[in-house]
Amino acid sequence: MYTATPLRSYAEKKPVRHVVGTTKVIAILNQKGGVGKSTTTINLGAALGAMGKQVLLIDLDPQGNTSSGLGIEKNLLNECIYDVLISDTQLTDIIIPDVCEGLDVAPATINLAGAEVELVSEMAREGRLKEAIGHVRGKYDYIFIDCPPSLGLLTVNALVAADKLLIPIQCEFYALEGVTKLLDSMKRVKSLLNPGLEIYGVLLTMYDGRTTLSKQVAAEVRNFFGRTVFDTVIPRTVKISEAPSFGQPINEYDPTGKGAEAYCALAREVSQRG
């Protein structure tokens, strides 16, 4: 059954029972659509939350898949990340706490589609998200930003706000197509706006070990990116595809399946990388 998430306010958040150290802000980005950005944002965040970490997911994609995939009914929201970027709304005013264990969400609605145009005339438009995140640094172990499949102003905001970049790459033909342009954009943002920006990791998604193509793509990606590629690969499974339609992460929807095992392994690898 589909599980709708209660729309609590940030003031109702459960107390945090551990000392949060330095907050790591990681943008999950690939300009190609359908490579598993939202799926990774949801399931990696939920797996880290289940490990006892405090995690905030920021949905920066107007499609709002990270929000709906966690059972958030977007039509019931009064405000979303759009209001944080465009007006004086604080990030804590829109955060929905405890969506899963240790997991909070700053949701998106279709209103966000207008932000690209509206931000053009704003002062310091590239730094709006960074400024908003500054108010919650120290409250979360990890903040993951689910980026839209483009290199527009929303994505630039994510690159300016992030400490690191996580790139999901689908094990399909043309997997590396467009990655050079993505890396060029990252280098421009790094040189002009965010000198500390680095690649945190590259994640192979939708891997099918039965096919030669998946093995060839995995080898090609590892050859191109070297040690930044995670050891964990995310398999192509029906359960991972089904979970968002039930408003649940894979570790709740199918906790003993291959997908949940893979994202738990990825969470451990992320935790070890620091």
pLDDT of residue 232: 98
pLDDT of residue 30: 93
Q: What is the mean pLDDT of residues 80-96?
A: 96
Residue with tokens 């790094």: 190
pTM of the model: 0.96
pLDDT of residue 120: 84
108-143 per-position pLDDT tens digit: 999 999 998 898 887 778 999 999 999 999 999 999
User: Which residue, 165, 185, 273, is CA-closest to 225?
Assistant: 165
24-49 per-position pLDDT tens digit: 999 999 988 889 999 999 999 999 99
204-256 per-position pLDDT tens digit: 999 998 999 999 999 999 999 999 999 999 999 999 999 999 999 999 999 99
CA distance 19 to 54: 10
pLDDT of residue 119: 87
pLDDT of residue 257: 97
Question: Which residues, at least 6 apart from 163, have a Cβ–Cβ distance to it below 8 Å?
Answer: 24, 25, 26, 196, 197, 198, 200
pLDDT of residue 261: 98
Name the band, by pLDDT with cuts 50, 70 and 90, for residue 107: very high
pLDDT of residue 262: 98
169-192 per-position pLDDT tens digit: 999 888 888 788 889 999 999 999
pLDDT of residue 255: 97
pLDDT of residue 77: 95
pLDDT at residue 1 greater than cutoff 90 = no
